[in-house]
Copies of this chain bind each other. A is one copy, B any other.
Amino acid sequence: MIKGKDGTIIPKVVIERLPRYYRYFDWLENKMEKISSKKLGDLIGSSASQVRLDLSYFGDFGQQGYGYNIKKLKHELVKILHINIERKFIIVGAGNIGRALTRYNIFKDTDFTLKALFDINPALIGEKIKGVTIYDVKELGAFVKENSIDIAIIAVPKDAANDISAILIQNGIKGILNFAPLDLNVQESFPVENIHIIDKILALSFMIS
Q: Which residues of A contact B (CB under 8 A)?
A: 2, 15-16, 18-20, 22-23, 27, 43-45, 80-83, 85, 87, 95-97, 99-101, 103-104, 106-107, 110, 112, 150-151, 174-177, 181-183, 188, 191, 193, 195-209
The number of times this chain is found in the oligomer is 2
List chain B residues, Cβ under 8 A from A110. Answer: 201-202, 205
Q: Given A16-B203, A100-B96, A202-B18, answer yes or no on A208-B150 (Cβ-Cβ < 8 Å).
A: yes
Contact B181 A23 (CB under 8 A): yes
List chain B residues, Cβ under 8 A from A207. Answer: 2, 15, 175, 191
List chain B residues, Cβ under 8 A from A193. Answer: 200-201, 203-204
Q: Given A150-B208, A175-B208, A197-B195, answer yes or no on A203-B100 (Cβ-Cβ < 8 Å).
A: no
